[in-house]
Amino acid sequence: MVRTEISLFLKNIPGELGKLSTTLSEAGVNIDALTIQDASEYVQGLFRARGKSLKRIAPAASYGSMQKDSADHALIRLLVDHTDKAIDLLSKAEYVFDIMPVIALEIDNKPGMLAKMAKKFGEEGININYIYGSAIPKGKKSLFVFCPEDIDLAAGIFKDQ
> Which of 25-29, 46-50, 138-142 holds the top average pLDDT?
25-29
In a 3-state reduction of DSSP, which class is residue 89?
helix
pLDDT number for residue 96? 84
Residue 133 has pLDDT above 90, yes or no: yes
What is the pairing mode between strands 31-38 and 97-108? unpaired
- Is the pLDDT assigned to residue 54 strictly greater than 90? no
Residue with the larger pLDDT of the pair 60 and 25: 25
pLDDT for position 118: 92
The pLDDT score that the predictor gives to residue 52 is 46
How far apart, in whole angstroms, are the C-alpha atoms of residue 33 and residue 40?
Answer: 22
Average pLDDT over residues 58-77: 63
pLDDT digits (tens, 9 = 90+) for 11-33: 888 899 999 999 999 999 999 99
Residue 45 confidence (pLDDT) = 63
Sorted by where each starts, the structural domains of the chain and their CATH numbers stand as 2-100 (3.30.2130.10), 102-157 (3.30.2130.10)
Global pTM reads 0.77
Task: Examine the pLDDT at 44 and tell me if it is beyond 90.
Answer: no
Residue partners of 24: CB distance under 8 A and separation at least 6: 30, 31, 80, 86, 89
